Amino acid sequence: MKETRVRHIDSSWVAQNTVLVDGFPRPDWNAIDDWIDRNVKDCHADEAWTEAGLCWLDAVKEHLAGQHKVYASDHFYLLCPYEKHMANKLISFAEDAWGKIQRYLWQLELNRPCGKEVILAFADQETYYTYISYFYPEGEFGFTGGIHISSGYEHVVLAPDDLWQLEFVLTHELTHVVLCTLPMPEWLEEGLAQILEELVLSRPSLTIDAEIKRRHDRYWNRHGLDEFWSGKSFRLPDEGQGLSYALAQILVRNMADDHGDRFFDFVQAARREDAGEAAAREHLKCSLSDCAMQFLGEGDWAPRPEALRDAAEREDSEQPDSDGQ
């Protein structure tokens, strides 16, 4: 395919700055970033990053010994093991979802890293988890159907699944890609990603009945919201992970319904260090505790600065450099 012609960066140089870890080629993206900064004009940086990304994808394809192929569209490269018709359906869906996500979020000021967007889809769970384990520290984490890798050459990784489920996961992870330059708290970004799944696919992804409400009440009254506000609960290997995604979706939906355009002012201003508390008070004229109380009822739901500070210090060395669903 014509995109393989490298114009701004030498593929052999990329190869020299790539090592095998867990059997996968892992480029030194910091070195590549530095080289592009020093040797490529700003107007060509996007092309140079795209070429470096394609060099990497070709190396990954070779590692997978012919099981995967690379497909290209206007905004995406897709490396996958699927038959051509399914690969074309998935990359076409990615293009459609990409445009819809950005239209839904048009009120936000967003920036994009350089390079064409990359999606990796693997043939089996073992290959998927071998690949993504590189981005996780030692420890136990919840299962994922896909993740957004935010370090190096930013990309989305998909676990094997049926096409209809891949569409949900891909929409979720592409929302993370679109929002990646905003320093918002994790619960807010995950809630937005859940909402965008429903909007893009026109399919409900969350049902609340009496039993689910009881599960939320029981879990959050027992554990509190410290780990939810800090983002840790989204990686738990227990029911707290699923409940965290659901609670984030509920809070974001309620905020958007209650506050209209002011909600996007809140999203733009929300910061991880206080879980978005200052932005909520400024733009929504209420506290995060008030927002949580709408669904959870009376309780001590406010983000605690000391808990957020302790979590941030731990996650500097422990947090996976990714967002997963």
Alpha-carbon distance of 76 to 49, in angstroms, equals 13
Whether residue 205 lies inside any domain: the answer is no
Considering the domain architecture, whether residues 18 and 89 belong to the same structural domain is answered as yes
Considering the domain architecture, whether residues 223 and 147 belong to the same structural domain is answered as no
pLDDT digits (tens), the chain, 325 positions: 444 454 788 888 889 999 999 889 999 999 999 999 999 998 889 999 999 999 999 999 999 987 899 999 999 999 999 999 999 999 999 999 999 999 999 999 998 777 899 999 999 999 999 999 998 876 666 578 899 999 899 999 999 999 999 999 999 999 999 999 999 999 999 999 999 999 999 988 788 999 999 999 999 999 999 999 999 999 888 899 999 999 999 999 999 999 999 999 999 999 999 999 999 999 999 999 999 999 999 999 999 999 898 888 766 554 445 566 6
CATH code at position 73: 3.40.30.160
The closest of 55, 34, 56, 30 to 45, measured between CA atoms, is: 34
Q: Are 99 and 74 spatial neighbours (Cβ–Cβ below 8 Å)?
A: no
Residue range(s) defining the domain that contains residue 165? 8-181
Length of the chain in residues, anyone?
Answer: 325
Whether residue 193 lies inside any domain: the answer is no
Whether residue 254 lies inside any domain: the answer is yes
Phi-psi category of 139—alpha, beta or left, where left has phi over 0 and alpha has psi -120 to 50? left
